[in-house]
Structure 1
């Protein structure tokens, strides 16, 4: 996702909000309550004026005092209702925005995640939407009611005394002249701060996610230095933001004090000359505060608005990315059908070609093995079959149907994938076995024990005190490599795939674990079309067909005996490993 240099306007921000489900009734009632609160607040200075002008113990009016008291109570109650409802609207809007982003993210193409760190993406979902929430929940209600308060107060002030109002309004152009350049500077700083926060979040998540690598490499000092550099960048940007606030607050205070002193001085002279009552002056000052307080919050509102515009640009950037599957496609049973790759070429992100004109086919029930030097493109072939990526040219088909005409969910549901890493989710063994299955909660324990037994995983699972409910830790760190592999195989048994793909499934295991896992894999492969990547030729010598790939090209296809006789590099591999 490329960063846009041009400034984002308000239109995308408003358009984004309008696409969400906004609780219209709560919003209307909340804004109405804010309006009532503001109008009640505008009545209080008038009541105070009457109280001051007729002030004496003998002339104290019980209805007037009661009116002021009721006005305060009503204002407090309605204001509380308004704050709650508008906060609920803000929370609902942001929850809806996060739901859309999450649903979008998990359906994006794998290529997006190749180019963006998970921490940066997390920051977009959490931090950027949080900025939008703060604007809607905290700052927009204050801005809306502040506008109403200012307009109402100015109208009443003009009616009370237009000359005094004119003196007060002289401060407005001065305030605007100061705030506009400061606001632009704040917008630039805020955008940089958001970008740096996302980058820092990504670095922290990556470091903590690979904590074992970091410690085994004794890279604590390196990571400490990198972390401190990121913290200092955030500190520097935070201090730049603080400088702007440090300018805004005193300038606002200065303007306010000048206006108040001017009003008191000028008003005092008019009261002394009998041109104005004392109550009018008091009311004027109270209305002045009803103008000044909202104006003091406007600077903060426009700062948050600039942040929200920047956040919106990033959010929309994610929401507009193409999904893996743009339209609904039919399901298809692929059992008993031939898998074909015809003239397949591929490059990551339009870079150097990784695969070029790759073709082969796998008949139902066949075992097809892939061999060749590291980096030749074997794992990329698997990525294309899994539809993690789209080929630049060529076609993958099952039977006579191109796989891109089948729904991705239907296609992947019928493929079992056992990788070298055997990725696991944090949670229990049960949750990992049933991960992704639609009826996972209803699968009986007997069925889970059956597939565990077939994968030679039953004994070690029963040895845990909690059995199937044993927590495996983040990415399965509480289990050994062999245990993780056997759970991955049990998961594949449970899904009963039509096509099985194995990428170096035993490469990282010790000899004892490898023997057990190999037995489980042999059992899993029975009766299925199987694609295997292996550096150790001893595991694939009995394959129905071996596809030799080097530098992205298929340079030989045949049985072990055929390739040994006809392919010099394969023969060299075989002599090194098998003799």
Structure 2
């Protein structure tokens, strides 16, 4: 067990080094900052030695130049320490900025299945809190630990030269203090790692709850969320309380122990001075070195806790960085126009292994409209998700002409697709930002008004105070459902897609909004291959081909009339679903 723990620690250290190296930091800032810190520490170590000479020569008067030298050493070490701290701070901030940039780029390129299993709030905690732990270790804890070790070793060397007997006492006493404090430090490290995990869980719940605050209120779920969040807050409180208790014991105990050490050495030194075996200057210098030793001992004790937290943060961030990304570097450009789109013997299952689609065969000829109908949960939306390449088929393939879509450049493939769903996504920002979101080209106001007119959205946008520059709010909360749909259709017009996919685009709308959106969609569908999921008869009855999806299988396909005549399941579905 111990060997496994040691291996794990060694691995974490290597992972930490690799994580930092991959950010390509400016090492000169680290080494120069450390070097200046060591110089400042050396200056501080020289002060007691000069003070020893100054005190021993008090009988003959005060050596002004020696006193000036001590003052210069004090001021110089403070200035050098400040420069060192600035360099190390700059190094740490640059590393954490590059690390966050790398993590952010990684997150937005991760595959959709990853986000199906991980809460957004947890990822936020990793991006913000865990990267802060690494910055703290790099910019503060590690440099302080290095200078503390240098200060400890240097102080002991100077003390050995001055008086080996008193130094021997300290060499025995200081490690003894560390040994006594080690159990408490270990407990503090475990509590620190538990706090990181609980904080990530709490961030996840906060994000989930506040992002759906309207659902919370509409469901009268305030009491449930109050209790659920309260449990995590209480857990954080318990962990924080443990940490506070351990720290409240550790630091006073360490301080008391060190104070007892000082009193003991002071008494022993006073005896030595009284018997004439030690000078007053040496005694004075020893006390100064002893005070210089106290701070490094405390810093090194805290360093082990910081190291444990950074180790946990490294593990979390490395886990994210190891996740597979979507591949965007294919060179083949999709050619959808005049090419049939086909699903050939496609199987699909999510991570739990439960089949969602089995042996699905679909063919969409160029410039035709294909409709998918069937019971809820039958796999219709999954088909569109596979075409969008959010997920990969577990069997079979999807082709355009003779090309497997997985061989096509992903960015170009998605650019060729226009997608309008039942709850079309709207991002925080202006209407202009939402229309051009993800597009590299610059568009004039005339072009934007043109697509808004095509989508029957120009009327309500024109009535807004700032028109194209109107803020729509978080998740488009300042626009209605029908307005949101029309903005999504306008965005699709602007993209001018070759393949159009509509997933319940008119569901849950009032009659007026539905009529306007149907008109907009009819224009948008002209001259494009269109795939539709709908529950309304008027939407699919004119489709060139209808595929009836039942429990992940294609039960039959054909025109509306053909399916009514040949497929009892479809006939029953129409009777129930489209009863008017």
After TM superposition, the score normalised by the length of structure 1 is 0.97
Report the Cα offset of residue 331 of structure 1.
2.6
Report the Cα offset of residue 219 of structure 1.
1.0
Which residue of the other structure, out of 306, 310, 313, is the alignment partner of 2:312? 310
Query: Within the alignment, does 1:214 sit opposite 2:216 as a pair?
Result: yes
Distance 2:400 2:304 in 1: 57
Aligned counterpart, 1:516: 516
Aligned counterpart, 1:405: 407
Report the Cα offset of residue 179 of structure 1.
3.2
Report the Cα offset of residue 136 of structure 1.
1.4
Query: Within the alignment, does 1:545 sit opposite 2:545 as a pair?
Result: yes
Distance 1:211 1:525 in 2: 36
Aligned counterpart, 2:69: 67
Report the Cα offset of residue 72 of structure 1.
1.4
Distance 2:370 2:332 in 1: 28
Query: Within the alignment, does 1:458 sit opposite 2:461 as a pair?
Result: no
**Which aligned pairs between 1:49-128 and structure 2 lie closer than 5 A?**
49-55=52-58, 59-128=61-130
Q: Number of paired residues? A: 573
Report the Cα offset of residue 326 of structure 1.
7.4
Distance 2:519 2:328 in 1: 41
Distance 2:289 2:218 in 1: 67
Report the Cα offset of residue 229 of structure 1.
0.8
Report the Cα offset of residue 476 of structure 1.
0.2
Distance 2:355 2:123 in 1: 28
Distance 1:334 1:69 in 2: 79
Report the Cα offset of residue 28 of structure 1.
2.0
Distance 2:157 2:176 in 1: 21
Does the 8 A contact of 1:40 with 1:75 survive in 2? yes
Distance 2:18 2:267 in 1: 48
Query: Within the alignment, does 1:531 sit opposite 2:531 as a pair?
Result: yes
Is the partner of 1:397 in helix, strand or coil? Answer: strand
Distance 1:244 1:466 in 2: 57
Report the Cα offset of residue 327 of structure 1.
5.1
Aligned counterpart, 2:142: 140
Which residue of the other structure, out of 359, 364, 384, is the alignment partner of 1:382? 384
Does the 8 A contact of 2:361 with 2:554 survive in 1? yes
Distance 2:338 2:72 in 1: 81
Aligned counterpart, 2:489: 489
Is the partner of 1:358 in helix, strand or coil? Answer: strand
Report the Cα offset of residue 60 of structure 1.
1.7
Distance 1:99 1:462 in 2: 38
Report the Cα offset of residue 573 of structure 1.
2.6
Does the 8 A contact of 1:379 with 1:503 survive in 2? yes
Report the Cα offset of residue 7 of structure 1.
4.6
After TM superposition, the score normalised by the length of structure 2 is 0.97
Report the Cα offset of residue 306 of structure 1.
0.2
Aligned counterpart, 2:360: 358
Distance 1:170 1:542 in 2: 91
Query: Within the alignment, does 1:504 sit opposite 2:511 as a pair?
Result: no
Does the 8 A contact of 2:340 with 2:401 survive in 1? yes
Distance 1:356 1:266 in 2: 86
Is the partner of 1:391 in helix, strand or coil? Answer: coil
Query: Within the alignment, does 1:32 sit opposite 2:44 as a pair?
Result: no
- Which whole-Å deviations, capped at 9, do the CAs of 1:450-493 have from their partners, x for residues lacking one? 11111111111110010100000000000000100000001001
Distance 1:558 1:28 in 2: 72
Report the Cα offset of residue 301 of structure 1.
1.0
Aligned counterpart, 1:393: 395
- Which whole-Å deviations, capped at 9, do the CAs of 1:434-458 have from their partners, x for residues lacking one? 000123xx32111111111111111
Distance 1:382 1:517 in 2: 21
Aligned counterpart, 2:322: 320
Aligned counterpart, 1:568: 568
Aligned counterpart, 1:443: 443
What stretches of structure 1 of length at least 5 have no aligned partner?
A: none
Does the 8 A contact of 2:328 with 2:410 survive in 1? no
Distance 1:179 1:404 in 2: 58
Does the 8 A contact of 2:328 with 2:409 survive in 1? no
Distance 2:574 2:14 in 1: 65
Distance 2:72 2:197 in 1: 49
Distance 1:503 1:81 in 2: 60
Distance 2:71 2:575 in 1: 98
Does the 8 A contact of 2:431 with 2:470 survive in 1? yes
Is the partner of 2:205 in helix, strand or coil? Answer: helix
Query: Within the alignment, does 1:23 sit opposite 2:26 as a pair?
Result: yes
Does the 8 A contact of 1:538 with 1:578 survive in 2? no
Report the Cα offset of residue 350 of structure 1.
4.0
Aligned counterpart, 1:431: 433
Distance 2:20 2:89 in 1: 15
What stretches of structure 2 of length at least 5 have no aligned partner?
A: none
Distance 2:128 2:147 in 1: 28
User: Does the C-alpha gap of structure 1 residues 207 and 398 become closer, same or farther in structure 2, counting only changes over 3 Å?
Assistant: same
Q: Post-superposition, which runs of at least 4 consecutive aligned residues in structure 1 deviate over 6 A?
A: none
User: Does the C-alpha gap of structure 1 residues 328 and 152 become closer, same or farther in structure 2, counting only changes over 3 Å?
Assistant: farther
Report the Cα offset of residue 330 of structure 1.
2.9
Report the Cα offset of residue 27 of structure 1.
1.5
Distance 2:381 2:97 in 1: 38
Is the partner of 1:361 in helix, strand or coil? Answer: strand
Does the 8 A contact of 1:171 with 1:255 survive in 2? no
Report the Cα offset of residue 18 of structure 1.
1.8
Aligned counterpart, 1:272: 274
Is the partner of 2:376 in helix, strand or coil? Answer: coil
User: Does the C-alpha gap of structure 1 residues 479 and 205 become closer, same or farther in structure 2, counting only changes over 3 Å?
Assistant: same
Aligned counterpart, 1:46: 49
Report the Cα offset of residue 52 of structure 1.
1.2
Does the 8 A contact of 1:42 with 1:287 survive in 2? yes
Does the 8 A contact of 1:34 with 1:79 survive in 2? yes
Does the 8 A contact of 1:157 with 1:284 survive in 2? yes
Distance 1:552 1:504 in 2: 18
